Structure 1
């Protein structure tokens, strides 16, 4: 320890004073290399030298006298110098566990805002929040809450990032609750996003976790039970809408929505209101003439940046019913801006209302309501295009697929 007053003792790095006899014996002792410093004396010297001082350790440059330092500064400590695989400081003290570099060596995970200037913190948070949609952020939070509930139930320590054994147990827990493989992967994606956002070690990518998910898929193969709605079935459902709808306006609106979802291969979130954060087909985005229908999709599952896509449906004997019902709907629709599909009171058609009415129509004509869902229009539309000889690239373009995933929609 350095003191402001004049030192009365020698530096701890000073060589020990030896008698002439000790110096004579030391001259004949074997040379000890730097990598042998931490080894026991019995392994580095003869037994006859065990009682003598250990071999000298090269010492760092002389530490400046305290008098030359600012008296108001904190006490300085010698800077260790690397010698081989160790340091001089390690050779003089007991060596403790050294944590790995990076996030894996952190004792406690820190939030992504740690170290951020207060004046910029709000901007950092807003940028990170904008990186994912509101629906995705809400879903991720749901997955994280599920994981935390699981850890509390099984008395796991609520550390973050979670260790591998907790994630392994969580996957087994999901499997025992008959969760599908796809859903399990979604749950882990929410956990992974939070870990990576906070700069922690993402144990959801561990080898054991990946293998468990593979086993999950083998034991529970993914099966899409949703069946396609054919054009013939579509005509049949539309014909009975006046019997299950409240009035003529509702029947006309739903028949137009049914046909448009089929021929434009629409996802339900693209034309029925789900939330204030999801763009929906609006009145100004829809145009129709005698030859074609054009609609502009502001954003979708594969268009998170909302660049938008324009779709066109040309008139044909198969699409004639769509043109007829669309003209009828526009003739009675309230002259208001906003969502294209709206009720007589101008309130938007919601996802819940659409799926409920579809359930009634499917049940009315005697079909299985468990296999015909809102996505059945998209599956049926893709299958219809394929059966009409439309090329794969055109089907991908019309359905706004970025990969060959459309092949799973072809149900002949």
Structure 2
């Protein structure tokens, strides 16, 4: 697809292709292929099967966006497709027409005509505290309460996705193991927790999240709550799931969301609007309200785009 001249050795071609595609995660590659296929099918259907796709034509892209609008696709879906096309256009050494003035104005018109609003409100520190206080009334054991307390605090403070601490039905499900966590004391005599994610959504590279002890509010302290859980859990091996039951079976996402719903119900909060992802929305909102920059929030939350901006709900937050 890309044009950089013939190689003297086929092995160099294979290696260059490997390096290019290794820059993307498998899920991103799959999404990009699907997006390009939809664009290709549209061009062939409207302009003829023998229509060349490269170099890309502005007329084709303009018509394709109009088609997405007529098909009642969401703006976010269309933007995801354009991101894929942008990568492919640049990979083919063509002009990135997705950045053309006309395309940008069409997308702006798309947004104005179909405004979207994420209905999920943020789980703020105040709400998080209420959920934690509800656990003794919604769980059936001290162990469950201690574990769920650590889970909700960690997923909030570390900007984690729920799928990163629980097992899902996805065959490629990856969740934190006991060996991914290390605790210690820093130079200021404060407890610290290091959470190492071997890989995560949109990335195959590891990253380490540093969390400090929060002494003023032990209820929301990731250091204290996680160590309390580890003390009672007594993991049998470094390879055990971090959040697991005494038989080493990992906590399922379904179990976590069921327990979350029970706590939300106890607190008389909306079960439809508050979702597991409300923790990340709340973390981003809280960080923005306390003065973190957009660059810092993007790094902390591990978003590789500016998608995090739609999660920041400053008017709705109450810090506690």
TM-score by length of 2: 0.71
* Alignment correspondent of 1:408: 312
Q: Distance in 2 between matches of 1:243 and 1:177?
A: 48
8 Å Cα contact 2:265/2:271 also seen in 1: yes
Higher relative contact order (CA 8 A, sep 6+): 2
1:128 is the counterpart of 2:20: yes
1:335 is the counterpart of 2:236: yes
* Change over 3 Å in CA distance of 1:321–1:144 after alignment to 2: same
Which secondary structure state, in structure 1, belongs to the residue aligned with residue 35 of structure 2? helix
Which secondary structure state, in structure 1, belongs to the residue aligned with residue 117 of structure 2? coil
1:237 is the counterpart of 2:131: yes
Structure number with greater Rg is 1
* Change over 3 Å in CA distance of 1:118–1:226 after alignment to 2: same
* Change over 3 Å in CA distance of 1:214–1:321 after alignment to 2: closer
Q: Distance in 2 between matches of 1:394 and 1:217?
A: 22
Q: Distance in 2 between matches of 1:166 and 1:355?
A: 44
* Alignment correspondent of 1:176: 70
1:137 is the counterpart of 2:29: yes
Which secondary structure state, in structure 2, belongs to the residue aligned with residue 296 of structure 1? strand
* Alignment correspondent of 1:295: 194
Task: Determine which structure has the larger helix proportion and give its number.
Answer: 2
* Alpha-carbon displacement from aligned partner over 1:7-30 (angstroms, at most 9, x marks no partner): xxxxxxxxxxxxxxxxxxxxxxxx
8 Å Cα contact 1:244/1:360 also seen in 2: yes
Aligned residues: 301
* Change over 3 Å in CA distance of 1:273–1:128 after alignment to 2: farther
8 Å Cα contact 1:385/1:395 also seen in 2: no
Q: How far did residue 344 of structure 1 move?
A: 4.2
* Alignment correspondent of 2:211: 312
* Alignment correspondent of 1:79: none
Q: Equivalent residues in 2 for 1:128-207 (5 A)?
A: 128-148=20-40, 150-151=42-43, 156-157=48-49, 159-161=52-54, 162-207=56-101
Q: How far did residue 349 of structure 1 move?
A: 4.4
Q: How far did residue 315 of structure 1 move?
A: 3.3
* Alignment correspondent of 1:284: 179
8 Å Cα contact 1:283/1:337 also seen in 2: yes
* Alignment correspondent of 1:379: 281
Q: Distance in 1 between matches of 2:309 and 2:116?
A: 14
* Change over 3 Å in CA distance of 1:252–1:221 after alignment to 2: same
* Alpha-carbon displacement from aligned partner over 1:247-277 (angstroms, at most 9, x marks no partner): 7655543332111122333344554467788
Q: Distance in 2 between matches of 1:187 and 1:244?
A: 43
Q: Equivalent residues in 2 for 1:345-356 (5 A)?
A: 345-349=247-251, 354-355=256-257
* Change over 3 Å in CA distance of 1:407–1:368 after alignment to 2: closer
* Alignment correspondent of 1:326: 226
* Alpha-carbon displacement from aligned partner over 1:283-339 (angstroms, at most 9, x marks no partner): 233244795241234467799584634412313242335556434421225322244
* Change over 3 Å in CA distance of 1:309–1:321 after alignment to 2: closer
8 Å Cα contact 2:124/2:282 also seen in 1: yes
Unaligned runs of 5+ in 1: 1-109
Q: Distance in 2 between matches of 1:314 and 1:147?
A: 50
TM-score by length of 1: 0.58
Root-mean-square deviation (Å): 4.3
Q: Distance in 2 between matches of 1:398 and 1:120?
A: 36
Q: How far did residue 376 of structure 1 move?
A: 1.9
Which secondary structure state, in structure 1, belongs to the residue aligned with residue 312 of structure 2? helix
Q: Distance in 2 between matches of 1:362 and 1:146?
A: 41
Q: Distance in 2 between matches of 1:129 and 1:271?
A: 28
* Change over 3 Å in CA distance of 1:152–1:373 after alignment to 2: farther
Q: How far did residue 209 of structure 1 move?
A: 1.9
8 Å Cα contact 1:341/1:349 also seen in 2: yes
8 Å Cα contact 1:265/1:381 also seen in 2: yes
Which secondary structure state, in structure 2, belongs to the residue aligned with residue 312 of structure 1? strand
Which secondary structure state, in structure 1, belongs to the residue aligned with residue 21 of structure 2? helix
8 Å Cα contact 2:134/2:263 also seen in 1: yes
* Alignment correspondent of 1:115: 6
